[in-house]
Amino acid sequence: MKKACYKSTFAAKISINSMTEKEILRIAIQKSGRLSEDSIALFKECGIKFDVGKSKLMSPARNFDAEFLFLRDDDIPGYVEDGVADLGIVGKNVLVEYGKDVSVIKELGFSKCRLSLAVPREIDYQDATYFEGKNIATSYPNLLGQYLQSKNIKAHIHEISGSVEIAPGIGLAEGVCDIVSSGGTLLSNGLKEVEVIFKSEAVLVSNKKLSAAKEELLAKLLFRINAVQAAQAYKYILLNAPNDKLEEIINIIPGMKSPTVMPLAKEGWSSVHSVLKESDFWENIEAMRKAGAEGILVIPIEKMIL
């Protein structure tokens, strides 16, 4: 009931807007939960200013042609498919579970988790055939159904909407299929993870039929998201190197192009400036120190336009 109300409020406002105002991107993000904070941070890092408040359902951006809709994550794929929202951020798990017809624009690298099967700790689990004929509690009947089918296993899927992990303890099921990140919740409920059936992260999705004006706004937004993501993947480094070791040190740096090298006031020494990939960071720093680099400074990059 509440859901239908939201939808008609948005739809009514949108049809008024489309008659009277220029086109803006409507971006659906989770109102409150594990996707919210990083979704909001991403748009803020893209320089888009908007208000966020517990009671807010919508919030216009002050410096970008966009408006944010704050929703339950489960509703986001449907709203984007229907065109009530143009874009949305949602977990891949929810997207695939609901099977809505939207375009996946970009993987965003946050809210990483997996959907896993788990059984009581004391079970001597060998392989997935354990689940043959068993009851499995989950909030993801479609993803679980696809997995069981791919393994040719027939099991009874008990769809429940929350607190799945208590199902074995109360005798509802012999196993569960639930979202796991660290595994702590499973452990504290006497369960152990036995099969990973799906890996998820937050994705940016879009409606399949955006107008030319909205496509242009999306391209502008993507340019910013790419710059933010690139910056997060790299660090800026400055170091001092003896001139006779310069070549060796520079060869360690897999920077963007060639590093900047400037002579130091101290005879026979240079300052080297470059960028390093966060993923190879420690390995490269250690190799450079071994090769004779000194005074290494590492600075986060705010934006990076490649």
For binding to Zn ion (CB under 5 A), which residues are involved? Answer: 73-74
Q: Which residue has tokens 């794929």?
A: 77
Two structure tokens written together for 108: 């965003």
Asked if 113 touches ligand ATP (CB under 6 A), the answer is yes
Asked if 73 touches ligand ATP (CB under 6 A), the answer is yes
State which residue, 71 or 275, has the beta carbon closest to ligand ATP: 71
Cα–Cα dist 201/241, whole Å: 41
- By CB under 6 A, how many residues form the interface with ligand ATP? 16
State which residue, 93 or 116, has the beta carbon closest to ligand ATP: 93
- Which of 43, 80, 93, 237 binds ligand ATP (CB under 6 A)? It is 93
Pairing mode, strands 135-138 and 156-159:
parallel
To 10 degrees, what angle do helices 36-45 and 212-233 make? 100
Query: Using an 8 Å Cβ cutoff, are 183 and 196 in contact?
Result: no
Asked if 97 touches ligand ATP (CB under 6 A), the answer is no
Query: Using an 8 Å Cβ cutoff, are 50 and 69 in contact?
Result: no
- Tally of residues, the chain: 306
Sign for the CA dihedral angle at 268, 271, 275, 281 comes to positive
State which residue, 91 or 175, has the beta carbon closest to ligand ATP: 91
Asked if 189 touches ligand ATP (CB under 6 A), the answer is no
State which residue, 98 or 236, has the beta carbon closest to Zn ion: 98
State which residue, 162 or 171, has the beta carbon closest to Zn ion: 162
Asked if 193 touches ligand ATP (CB under 6 A), the answer is no
Asked if 91 touches ligand ATP (CB under 6 A), the answer is yes
Cα–Cα dist 47/119, whole Å: 45
Q: Which residues bind ligand ATP (CB under 6 A)?
A: 30, 33-35, 72-74, 91, 93-94, 111-113, 179, 181, 200
